[in-house]
Amino acid sequence: MGASLMIVEDDDQVRGDLRGAMEDEGYEVAEAGDAEVALEHLRNHGAPDVMIVDLMVGEMDVFTCIREIRREHEVPIIVTSPRSDTHDVVAALEAGADDFLTKPFEIKEISARMRALRRRPRLGAQLEDAVPEPPMEVVLDADQDAPLVLSPDGGAVRRGDDSLHLTVTEFRLLCELAANPGRVLSRTVLLTKAWDEGFFGDERIVDVHVRRLRTKIETDPSDPRIVVTVRGLGYRLDMQR
């Protein structure tokens, strides 16, 4: 049985053509004409291996739809749209999408992006495959009341007694930065480390994920002390002692 795919697209012709092409690629395809139907399908049948979601679909705001999916699932999501302005791209990525593709697109291109996303291990899979040994812990912020502790081997981050929910990309970014404390890592380096070689997007996706990471680990995300921007060069992790 092939990998499973859900297409969320309100244009019947586009959805049908895409379904046929993806079935020819070997995918088991489910489809939905609007976001509400897609969410209901996920509730009843679980998440597919990958999703393609059109930006302009149904009455529900697609960004709200993606955030709802991310509350329960780590499924890779590609957002498609006939528009390509920066606001749409950033909003989709900040909502939790993994990639953004402007219409019209070639089937070979979206197939390649889907394969690249599916090669990236999801956090749950990483934890299932983890060797059951005591995890190494890295104290990123030694705040006496609520220290920030990263456990790379255990796939966990906690602030005091609270576990923080990071996406796989956010976790991999944090681990890479923590492995090189005090060293500036360029966006290109971070793309290479946190994404697979099959990533087709541009470097601004790093900035989006760093912003999301900061909202979870920084005391004041507007004035970050842990993941610091080095203008024109990249990002640096500063241990807080």
**β-strand partners of 80:** 54, 101
pLDDT band of 121, cuts 50, 70, 90: low
What is the structure's pLDDT at 192? 77
Is residue 124 one of the residues assigned to a domain? no
> Is the model's pLDDT at 128 over the cut of 60?
no
Examine the domain organization and report whether 115 and 155 are in the same domain. Answer: no
Examine the domain organization and report whether 83 and 142 are in the same domain. Answer: no
Distance CA 118, CA 102 (A): 20
* Contact indicator for 211, 229 with CB cutoff of 8 Å: no
> Is the model's pLDDT at 133 over the cut of 70?
no
Task: For residues 125-144, give the mean pLDDT.
Answer: 62
Domain limit, last residue, from 95, 119, 143:
119
Name the DSSP class of 76: -
- Domain holding 196, by residue range, is 133-237
> What six digits make up the tokens of 112?
């390649």
Examine the domain organization and report whether 86 and 160 are in the same domain. Answer: no
The counts of H helices and E strands in the chain are 9, 11
Counting the structural domains of the chain, the total is 2
Examine the domain organization and report whether 94 and 165 are in the same domain. Answer: no
> What six digits make up the tokens of 103?
């219409």
CB atoms within 10 A of CB 192: 14
pLDDT band of 199, cuts 50, 70, 90: low
Q: Which residues are CB-neighbours of 77 under 8 A, at least 6 positions away?
A: 50, 51, 52, 53, 66, 69, 96, 97, 98, 99
Distance CA 241, CA 238 (A): 9
> Is the model's pLDDT at 167 over the cut of 60?
yes
Examine the domain organization and report whether 148 and 198 are in the same domain. Answer: yes
Q: Is 134 exposed, middle or buried (0-12, 13-18, 19+ CB in 10 A)?
A: exposed
Task: For residues 209-227, give the mean pLDDT.
Answer: 92
Task: For residues 176-203, give the mean pLDDT.
Answer: 78
Examine the domain organization and report whether 178 and 211 are in the same domain. Answer: yes
> Is the model's pLDDT at 180 over the cut of 50?
yes
What is the structure's pLDDT at 134? 40
Distance CA 22, CA 18 (A): 6
Is residue 34 one of the residues assigned to a domain? yes
pLDDT band of 122, cuts 50, 70, 90: low
Indicate the pTM of the whole model. 0.61
Examine the domain organization and report whether 145 and 217 are in the same domain. Answer: yes
Which region among 49-58, 112-121, 134-143, 206-215 has the lowest average model confidence (pLDDT)? 112-121
Domain limit, last residue, from 119, 148, 164:
119
pLDDT band of 76, cuts 50, 70, 90: confident
Is residue 35 one of the residues assigned to a domain? yes
pLDDT band of 130, cuts 50, 70, 90: very low
CATH number assigned to the domain comprising residue 41: 3.40.50.2300
Nearest CA to 173 among 210, 120, 118?
Answer: 210
pLDDT band of 19, cuts 50, 70, 90: very high
Domain limit, last residue, from 119, 150, 174:
119
Strands 148-151 and 50-54: unpaired
Task: For residues 201-217, give the mean pLDDT.
Answer: 84
Is residue 127 one of the residues assigned to a domain? no
> What six digits make up the tokens of 65?
């739809």
To the nearest whole number, what is the mean pLDDT of the chain? Answer: 83
Residue-wise pLDDT tens digits, 145-158: 889 999 887 788 99
CATH number assigned to the domain comprising residue 223: 1.10.10.10
* Contact indicator for 217, 159 with CB cutoff of 8 Å: yes
> Is the model's pLDDT at 52 over the cut of 90?
yes
Give the type of residue at 65.
C
